[in-house]
Amino acid sequence: MVGPFTGVLLNHIARETENVLKTAQFYKEIFGFQNIQTPKEFGDSVVWLSLPPSHSLHIIKRNPESRLPESPFTATDDARRDERALPMAHHLSFRVSDYDAAIELLKEKSIPYYEKTQQEGRIKQAFFFDPDGNGLEIGNWPIEQ
């Protein structure tokens, strides 16, 4: 039996969007991502962002011909954004060092969110959507998780 890949590290996450600049700005304002050099061959259809020290997010102009699953763009007509469904659905999750300040920023930006707690209230989580309908989570987990 062959084992799992070895030496695996997360390189980047890619999100497709109709509006590359708007989505990139959202991730910069909400999570503190920073622009990094994007290869010129992508033109203005891609923006690469970095969350120091090591994680990258690639914001990609949506290809209308693509019908890949798990994308807000392939959702059925009766689909709706429901933050309460995100804990058991596709989402990206980020640890934040100041959970209360993060919640205040969501409020300031008028971003609807759903909160829940775990471990007798010690772990706080909030679920919300980016401008394109991709699920996101923030939480105050200990660093060792």
What tens-digit pLDDT sequence spans the chain (145 residues)? 666 666 767 778 888 888 999 999 999 999 999 999 988 888 889 999 999 887 888 888 877 776 555 666 666 666 677 888 877 677 888 889 899 999 999 999 999 999 999 878 888 999 999 998 888 999 998 875 3
Q: Tell me the CATH number of domain 82-145, given options 3.40.50.261, 1.20.1560.10, 3.40.50.2300, 3.10.180.10.
A: 3.10.180.10
In whole angstroms, what is the distance from residue 75 CA to residue 97 CA? Answer: 33
- Judge: domain 9-62, CATH 3.40.50.300: no
Query: Which helix (H) or strand (E) covers residue 139, if one does?
Result: strand 135-139
Which pTM does this prediction carry? 0.73
DSSP per-residue letters across 68-132? -SSSGGG--TT----GGGGGGSS-EEEE-S-HHHHHHHHHHTT---EEEEETTTTEEEEEEE-TT
DSSP 3-state helix, strand, coil percentages of the chain (rounded to 5)?
25, 30, 50
